[in-house]
Amino acid sequence: MKLTLKIWRQNGPSANGSFESHTLDGVSEDSSFLEMLDQLNEQLLGEGKEPVAFDHDCREGICGTCSLTINGHAHGPEDSTTTCQLHMRKFRDGETVTIEPFRANAFPIVRDLIVDRSAFDRIVQSGGFISVRTGSAPDGNAIPISKVDADNAMDAAACIGCGACVASCKNASAMLFTSAKAAHLNLLPQGQAEKDERAINMVKTMDEAGFGNCRNYGECSAACPKDISLDYIAKLNRDHAKAKLKKIFS
């Protein structure tokens, strides 16, 4: 395949960025999107040019490191797929592919296509944990958990923290990520003791990081490679309201 790549280049956090176009020939349909970018970088190095900086790690869809907004879609147009799992056969020969970083005020650009997603870490640090006595390991099955709750918590825990929800949201809201991280603990018995604090603190940190307000478009869930459901947002809305009301009336 032969592709025209329109790529965002930016030298540093405070530099002005702009698009740069490159033609790449001989792309295999079987290569992944990141392998295609590797091929481009080989070509750029050969021409004595600076390679394009992009994030990646596991390349098997489980770490959440890869990003990229491809033709306007976070992780590209395929549903339920990370950029590293996206294959070039999903594109047409001769197509122009536009590649941009995940854009949000709370995700400052580090260089080219790499953004700083540490705001997500701060949200998790403010409540995405349970404080337990760390003695000997507890007996398996010592705490009964219903199948429904276990499944639900597991579905929420599938979030890999990639940030596609923020990038796909016209309002740069981090509600899908935050609600998934809150829900997988709020649904389980171990998470109950800190449930109210968790809901309030995680939302507070999320607001302070400069993410936008959710307006229920549903774009986040549509872009999410792990299909995190909008239900978790509804649940965080509910848990947060309850926690606030309890605080007011106690």
Partner 1 sequence: MFSSSLGKKYLMALSGLVLIGFVFVHMAGNLQVLLGQAQINAYAHSLQSLPWFILWGSRLFLLAAVLIHAFTAYSLIVENRKARPNLNEIEATKRAGLASLRMGLTGSILLAFIVFHLLHFTIRTIYPEYAEMMTTVGSPDGTEIHDAFLMVISGFKHDVISVFYVVAMGMLCAHLSHGFSSVFQSLGLRSESWRAKIDLVAIGYAWIIFVGFSIVPLSVLAQKHGIYEFYDPSFFSQEVEEKSLSTNLLNNES
Site for ligand FES in 74-133 (CB under 6 A): 82-84
Contact residues toward partner 1 (CB under 8 A) are 6, 8, 19, 69, 71-73, 77, 79, 98, 100, 103-106, 168-173, 203-204, 206-207, 210-219, 221-223, 229-231, 233-241, 244-245, 248
Phi, psi of 222, deg, nearest 5: -70, -30
- Cβ proximity to ligand FES: between 83 and 168 the closer is 83
Burial 173-191 (b: 16+ CB within 10 A, else e): bbbbbbbbbbbbbbbbeeb
Among 19, 21, 28, 58, binds ligand FES (CB under 6 A): 58
d(CA 20, CA 17): 10
- Cβ proximity to ligand SF4: between 27 and 220 the closer is 220
Q: Give the one entry of partner 1, ligand HEM, ligand SF4, none that residue 69 binds, where binding means its C-beta sits below a cut-off of 5 to 8 angstroms depending on kind.
A: partner 1
Q: Give the one entry of ligand SF4, partner 1, ligand HEM, none that residue 177 binds, where binding means its C-beta sits below a cut-off of 5 to 8 angstroms depending on kind.
A: ligand SF4
d(CA 19, CA 5): 10
Phi, psi of 24, deg, nearest 5: -125, 125
Instruction: For residue 46, give both structure tokens.
Output: 């050969």
Distance of CA 1 to CAs 31, 39, 57, 94, 98, Å?
A: 11, 13, 25, 7, 16
Site for ligand HEM in 193-222 (CB under 6 A): 215-216
Site for ligand SF4 in 84-123 (CB under 6 A): none
Rule CB under 6 A: which residues touch ligand HEM? 215-216
